[in-house]
Amino acid sequence: MVHKKIATVQYRRKREGKTDYRKRIILLKSRTPRLVVRRFNKNIVAQLIEYHPDGDRVIASSHSRNLEKHGWGYNTGNIPASYLVGYMIGHAAKGKEAILDIGLHTPIPGSRIFAVLKGAADAGLKIKYSEEIAPKADRLSGKHIADYAALLKSDTERFNRLFSSYVKNKQDPAKMQEAFEKTKEKIASSK
């Protein structure tokens, strides 16, 4: 006698490796808006999303390309830019409560994802986290990049190779901290 097995087809997003439904249901049961952070090689995206049965709704959104409007002319995919993206979304959603949703990204302490979290919390978004996972203040402001650029100034060939995008755009990586502070002030003063 032949027994046929019934094939169960998984959800498309699960098959494609885009959604972890176990993790998602835990986040949704909290009934708290989610701070969704997605990182790419050259950009960071942060959104404050609220669940609704007919589809999730975006309350606030921030993208690292928007930093140029506030005077940021440096790389949009590094830790200082990530902090500023979080600061923008935190400023837009000041006083609201949220939980962090990093999706399928691996949680690495001190990473760009947690820089966004720290920026959002510093701007006024109510979100619980441990200070141990956030990058140190020197890394958030770009001091580590400025120090490394100053160290390599004497070796022009290596400096031009490692900081080629800065050289191409006529930016001085040693002045990144100043630009960070100015951009942060502009975000805080904007509405």
Q: pLDDT of 131-142, one tens digit each? A: 999 999 999 999
- Categorize the per-residue pLDDT at 1 as very low, low, confident or very high, splitting at 50, 70 and 90: low
For residue range 181-190, list pLDDT tens digits in order.
999 999 999 8
Q: C-alpha angle with apex 92: 134 to 184, nearest 5 degrees? A: 60
Structural domains present in the chain: 18-189 (3.30.420.100)
Average pLDDT of span 20-34: 86
Helix (H, G, I), strand (E, B) or coil at 58: strand
Could you tell me the CA-to-CA distances from 70 to 28, 87, 186 in Å, in that order? Answer: 33, 12, 6
For residue range 28-87, list pLDDT tens digits in order.
888 899 999 999 999 999 999 998 889 889 999 999 999 999 999 898 999 999 999 999
Residue-level pLDDT at 39: 92
pLDDT-wise least confident of 80-84, 93-97, 169-173: 169-173
